[in-house]
Amino acid sequence: MPIYEYLCDQCERRFEALRPIRESSDPVPCPQCFRDSKRMMPTSFTAFTVRDGYPRSIPDTGKYYHLGKEVSKPVTGGVRINEHEEINIDEPAPAETKAEKEAMKERRAVVKNEMARIERDDGPVKEWKDDS
Protein backbone atom coordinates (compact mmCIF):
# COMPACT_ATOMS: atom_id res chain seq x y z
CA MET A 1 0.00 0.00 0.00
CA PRO A 2 1.33 3.46 -0.84
CA ILE A 3 1.81 6.32 1.57
CA TYR A 4 -0.22 9.45 0.76
CA GLU A 5 0.26 13.00 2.01
CA TYR A 6 -2.69 14.92 3.48
CA LEU A 7 -3.26 18.53 4.60
CA CYS A 8 -5.73 19.56 7.29
CA ASP A 9 -7.46 22.86 6.38
CA GLN A 10 -8.43 23.57 10.02
CA CYS A 11 -5.08 23.23 11.81
CA GLU A 12 -2.87 23.43 8.65
CA ARG A 13 -1.05 20.28 9.63
CA ARG A 14 0.60 17.99 7.07
CA PHE A 15 0.58 14.27 7.71
CA GLU A 16 0.97 10.97 5.91
CA ALA A 17 -1.30 7.96 5.85
CA LEU A 18 -0.80 4.43 4.55
CA ARG A 19 -3.92 3.64 2.50
CA PRO A 20 -5.09 1.37 -0.31
CA ILE A 21 -5.08 2.95 -3.76
CA ARG A 22 -8.87 2.76 -4.08
CA GLU A 23 -9.23 4.90 -0.90
CA SER A 24 -6.51 7.43 -1.74
CA SER A 25 -8.88 10.29 -2.63
CA ASP A 26 -11.23 9.73 0.34
CA PRO A 27 -10.83 12.20 3.25
CA VAL A 28 -8.77 11.07 6.26
CA PRO A 29 -9.21 12.31 9.83
CA CYS A 30 -6.42 14.61 11.04
CA PRO A 31 -4.42 13.02 13.90
CA GLN A 32 -4.42 16.35 15.79
CA CYS A 33 -7.96 17.82 15.41
CA PHE A 34 -9.77 14.71 14.02
CA ARG A 35 -11.46 16.63 11.17
CA ASP A 36 -11.49 15.32 7.60
CA SER A 37 -8.43 16.30 5.59
CA LYS A 38 -7.89 16.42 1.84
CA ARG A 39 -5.15 14.62 0.01
CA MET A 40 -2.44 16.88 -1.37
CA MET A 41 -0.38 16.18 -4.44
CA PRO A 42 3.11 14.87 -3.65
CA THR A 43 5.99 17.31 -3.90
CA SER A 44 8.30 14.62 -5.30
CA PHE A 45 7.96 11.14 -6.67
CA THR A 46 10.60 8.45 -7.01
CA ALA A 47 10.01 5.17 -8.79
CA PHE A 48 12.39 2.23 -8.76
CA THR A 49 12.56 -1.41 -9.68
CA VAL A 50 14.83 -4.26 -8.62
CA ARG A 51 17.07 -6.03 -11.16
CA ASP A 52 19.63 -8.70 -10.24
CA GLY A 53 19.06 -7.92 -6.57
CA TYR A 54 20.02 -4.24 -6.94
CA PRO A 55 17.51 -1.37 -6.71
CA ARG A 56 17.33 0.46 -10.03
CA SER A 57 15.84 3.87 -10.81
CA ILE A 58 13.32 4.21 -13.60
CA PRO A 59 14.07 4.61 -16.49
CA ASP A 60 16.73 1.93 -16.18
CA THR A 61 19.65 2.47 -18.58
CA GLY A 62 20.87 -1.10 -18.11
CA LYS A 63 24.15 0.05 -16.52
CA TYR A 64 25.53 -0.69 -13.07
CA TYR A 65 27.47 1.59 -10.75
CA HIS A 66 30.72 0.77 -8.96
CA LEU A 67 32.02 3.39 -6.51
CA GLY A 68 30.03 6.08 -8.31
CA LYS A 69 31.21 5.19 -11.83
CA GLU A 70 29.00 3.63 -14.51
CA VAL A 71 29.99 0.11 -15.63
CA SER A 72 28.31 -2.44 -17.90
CA LYS A 73 28.24 -5.40 -15.47
CA PRO A 74 28.44 -5.94 -11.69
CA VAL A 75 31.57 -7.19 -9.93
CA THR A 76 31.77 -11.00 -10.01
CA GLY A 77 34.41 -13.52 -9.15
CA GLY A 78 37.65 -13.07 -7.28
CA VAL A 79 38.72 -9.45 -7.48
CA ARG A 80 40.51 -7.26 -5.00
CA ILE A 81 38.34 -5.07 -2.80
CA ASN A 82 37.06 -1.84 -4.39
CA GLU A 83 38.28 -2.84 -7.85
CA HIS A 84 36.31 -3.41 -11.04
CA GLU A 85 37.74 -4.78 -14.27
CA GLU A 86 36.30 -1.90 -16.32
CA ILE A 87 37.54 0.87 -14.03
CA ASN A 88 40.91 -0.41 -12.79
CA ILE A 89 42.60 -0.99 -16.15
CA ASP A 90 46.39 -0.77 -16.22
CA GLU A 91 47.61 2.10 -18.34
CA PRO A 92 49.89 1.03 -21.21
CA ALA A 93 53.51 2.15 -21.00
CA PRO A 94 54.05 5.40 -22.85
CA ALA A 95 55.66 5.05 -26.27
CA GLU A 96 59.31 6.05 -26.57
CA THR A 97 59.92 9.48 -28.01
CA LYS A 98 62.24 10.08 -30.93
CA ALA A 99 64.87 11.55 -28.57
CA GLU A 100 64.70 8.49 -26.28
CA LYS A 101 65.12 6.16 -29.27
CA GLU A 102 68.16 8.12 -30.46
CA ALA A 103 69.69 8.06 -26.95
CA MET A 104 69.19 4.28 -26.72
CA LYS A 105 70.79 3.84 -30.17
CA GLU A 106 73.81 5.87 -29.04
CA ARG A 107 74.14 3.83 -25.80
CA ARG A 108 74.09 0.57 -27.78
CA ALA A 109 76.77 1.92 -30.13
CA VAL A 110 78.96 2.93 -27.15
CA VAL A 111 78.56 -0.51 -25.52
CA LYS A 112 79.32 -2.25 -28.83
CA ASN A 113 82.48 -0.15 -29.33
CA GLU A 114 83.59 -0.79 -25.73
CA MET A 115 83.08 -4.56 -26.13
CA ALA A 116 85.06 -4.50 -29.39
CA ARG A 117 87.90 -2.57 -27.67
CA ILE A 118 88.01 -5.04 -24.76
CA GLU A 119 88.15 -8.01 -27.16
CA ARG A 120 90.89 -6.34 -29.20
CA ASP A 121 93.03 -5.51 -26.12
CA ASP A 122 92.39 -8.52 -23.85
CA GLY A 123 91.25 -11.21 -26.22
CA PRO A 124 87.75 -12.66 -26.60
CA VAL A 125 85.36 -12.12 -23.69
CA LYS A 126 84.55 -15.44 -22.01
CA GLU A 127 81.36 -16.11 -20.13
CA TRP A 128 81.80 -16.16 -16.41
CA LYS A 129 80.74 -19.40 -14.78
CA ASP A 130 80.08 -19.86 -11.10
CA ASP A 131 81.98 -22.97 -9.96
CA SER A 132 80.79 -22.87 -6.39
DSSP, residue by residue, 16-31: EEE--GGGTTS-EE-T
CA 26 – CA 102 distance, rounded (Å): 85
CA distances from 115 to 82, 127, 130 (A): 51, 13, 22
CA 22 – CA 81 distance, rounded (Å): 48
Report CA torsion sign: 85, 88, 89, 90: negative
What does the pLDDT read at residue 58? 72
CA 52 – CA 60 distance, rounded (Å): 13
What does the pLDDT read at residue 121? 82
CA 15 – CA 31 distance, rounded (Å): 8
CA 49 – CA 57 distance, rounded (Å): 6
pTM of the model: 0.34
List, for the chain, all residue ranges whose pLDDT scores fall below the cut of 50. Answer: none
Q: What pLDDT, in 10s, does the model give residues 15-53?
A: 988 989 898 888 899 989 999 998 887 666 677 778 777
